[in-house]
Amino acid sequence: MARHNGGRGWYGKVLGAALGVTLLTVGATWGTAQAGAVGDSSPKASASAEPGSDVKRVEESIVHASDKGARGVNITIDDGPDPVWTPQVLDVLREYGVKATFCMVGTQAQAHPDLVKKVVAAGHRLCDHTVSHDTAMDKKSEAYQSQEILDAERMIIKASGGVRPMYYRAPGGAFTPYSRKLAASHGMRPLGWNVDTKDFEGPSADTMVATVERELPDGPTVLFHDAGGDRAETVEALRRILPQLKEEGHTFGFPVR
């Protein structure tokens, strides 16, 4: 899993106002759903406890493996939800019957709760991708890391209507032992990647498809993005690679927990 910063300077343009709202709202009541059963793929948050206090701790090592085994592929989608691109990504996934893991930025989830709910309703899983997508957060204090992870968790739970993120992906791969342990204690398995399409750099769909073909033997978890810029080529790459992988005998699953 190579580290990257994603080149997403767009966050700096929107986070100033959003974070002001965030700091006023994250302490508010965040959900009213009933707790989900153990093993439920869309676990519900408890209305009477702090997020994470009623969930089973998971492994804190960074996961890459697929629950579909040796021929499994995990499609992961980062940085949304986005009102332009997330619906298009969802359409392609639905067309080919593929479930994915959406790693959501807290402020984006807060701004677009309707899209978070659509992701959940389609059977996809949620992943905590922090509040502000700070790729240098591994250089910051534990208090800062905690705020970034747990505030995003609350935002996602609230936006989803009570569905918990099942994974935590550090922006740019900026994991620390502390952040992994904290996420795991809240039932969020630290999630890495094996195949980086680098779609944030603006490659063509052809290039992204070739990257997946070349790097998939290194591991099953593939990284795409549905926010942070024009994702037309990402949508096209997904439209091409999903049926191709199926023809090659791959099945699509989720990262193991």
Catalytic residues: 78, 225
> How far is it, in rounded angstroms, from Cα 17 to Cα 1?
33
Question: What is the radius of gyration, based on Cα positions, of the chain?
Answer: 17
Query: CA torsion 150→167→257→124, rounded to 10°?
Result: 130
Residue 71, C-beta contacts closer than 8 angstroms, at least 6 positions apart: 249, 250, 251
Listed in sequence order, the residues at least 6 apart from 220 whose beta carbon sits closer than 8 Å to its beta carbon are 64, 65, 66, 72, 73, 74, 194
Q: Which residue has tokens 């009102």?
A: 83
Gap between the terminal Cα atoms of the chain: 18
The pairing of strands 167-168 and 221-225 is unpaired
